[in-house]
């Protein structure tokens, strides 16, 4: 992990009509870092991810990548190096696994290097290679999540964003996926993770932010937050 700031969100406000989904949330992601944002349902976690990706309009606030303002247009954000694994996986069910990966590489100009990335995502998730010609809709939930991650990686992102990757998956599959995410990070991809499953997220990430009804509640090193009495009580399902 370096000390260079890769992605920075400053004072982000997002409103849905009269409802304030985010009221002044700020976050920094260093190069090669894994940062998680934890919080209850409705805290604004997904809204924050969508705001970064240019999927929802920001009422106030700025986002910088490498110190430069990030576009607010979705496809330009992807081209500049952010890739989101959306909540609920959202794989393209009527397309094959191979086509899903291909569309993930839509922005890539360096077609000659694609082979390398296919090999890499297959080394992370070998099951995808076995199912290459299968329709994505026929995969199990865990495999669909793997495909969603692999698809996002095919864009060769600098920042991989994941929105609730553990949702609806069996604990053993969650552990497998989080282990591979660590390997992704070791290849130099920074990761921003949003999770209700606070324990898994804190175990994986270096630092974390706790979001409550659109505002920052707490931030710090993940290992400290794992020991924090309030966090334990509120998010880790343990009494202090």
Partner 1 sequence: MAFTFSTLIQQIINGLSLGSVYALIAVGYSLVYSILLFSNFAHGGFLVVGGYACYFLLTQWGYGVAVSMTGALFASGLTAVITERLAYKPIRERTSITLYLLIASMGVNIIIENLFVVTVGGRIRALPQNTFPTGVFNLFGGVALSASDIISLVTAVIFLSLLQIFLNRTRWGLAIRAAACDIRTAGLMGVNVTFLISLVFFVAGVLAAVGGIFLSVRYSLYPQLGSITTKAFVAAVIGGLGSLPGAVVGSLILGLAEMLTAGFISSQMRDLVVYSLLVIMLLIRPAGFFGKTISEKI
Q: Which residues bind partner 1 (CB under 8 A)?
A: 53, 55, 74-75, 78-79, 83-84, 86, 90, 92-95, 99, 102-104, 106-107, 151, 155
Q: Which is nearer to partner 1, 151 or 158 (CB)?
A: 151
Q: Which is nearer to partner 1, 155 or 191 (CB)?
A: 155
Q: How far is the CB of 103 from partner 1 (least distance, A)?
A: 5
Q: Which is nearer to partner 1, 126 or 137 (CB)?
A: 137
**3-class DSSP string for 29-94:** EECCCEEEEECCCCCCHHHHHHHHCCCCCCCEEEEEECCEECCCCHHHHHHCCEEEECCCCCCCCC
Q: Which is nearer to partner 1, 30 or 152 (CB)?
A: 152
Q: Which is nearer to partner 1, 131 or 156 (CB)?
A: 156
* DSSP notation for 106-167: TT---GGGHHHHHHHHHHH-HHHHHTTTSBGGGS-HHHHHHHHHHHHHTT--SEEEEESTTT
Q: How far is the CB of 78 from partner 1 (least distance, A)?
A: 3
Q: How far is the CB of 168 from partner 1 (least distance, A)?
A: 17
Q: How far is the CB of 147 from partner 1 (least distance, A)?
A: 12
Q: Is 147 exposed, middle or buried (0-12, 13-18, 19+ CB in 10 A)?
A: buried
Total Cβ atoms within 10 A of residue 75: 12
Q: How far is the CB of 113 from partner 1 (least distance, A)?
A: 16
């Amino acid at each position: 992990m370096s000390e260079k700031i890769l992605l920075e969100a400053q004072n982000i406000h997002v409103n849905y009509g009269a409802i304030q989904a985010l009221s002044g949330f700020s976050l920094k992601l260093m190069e090669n870092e894994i940062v998680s944002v934890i919080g209850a349902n409705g805290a604004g976690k997904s809204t924050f991810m969508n705001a970064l990706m240019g999927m929802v309009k920001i009422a106030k606030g700025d986002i910088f990548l490498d110190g430069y303002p990030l576009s607010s247009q979705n496809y330009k954000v992807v081209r500049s190096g952010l890739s989101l694994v959306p909540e609920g996986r959202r794989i393209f069910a009527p397309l094959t696994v191979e086509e899903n990966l291909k569309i993930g590489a839509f922005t890539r100009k360096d077609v000659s290097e694609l082979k390398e990335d296919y090999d890499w995502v297959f080394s992370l998730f070998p099951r995808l290679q076995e199912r290459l010609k299968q329709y994505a809709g026929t995969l199990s939930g865990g495999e669909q999540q793997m495909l969603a991650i692999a698809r996002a990686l095919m864009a060769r992102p600098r920042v991989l964003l994941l929105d609730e990757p553990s949702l609806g998956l069996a604990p053993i599959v969650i552990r497998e996926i989080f282990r591979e995410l660590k390997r992704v990070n070791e290849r130099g991809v920074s990761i921003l993770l949003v999770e209700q499953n606070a324990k898994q997220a804190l175990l994986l990430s270096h630092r974390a932010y706790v979001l409550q009804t659109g505002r920052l509640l707490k931030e710090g090193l993940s290992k400290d937050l794992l020991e924090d009495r309030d966090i334990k009580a509120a998010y880790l399902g343990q009494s202090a």
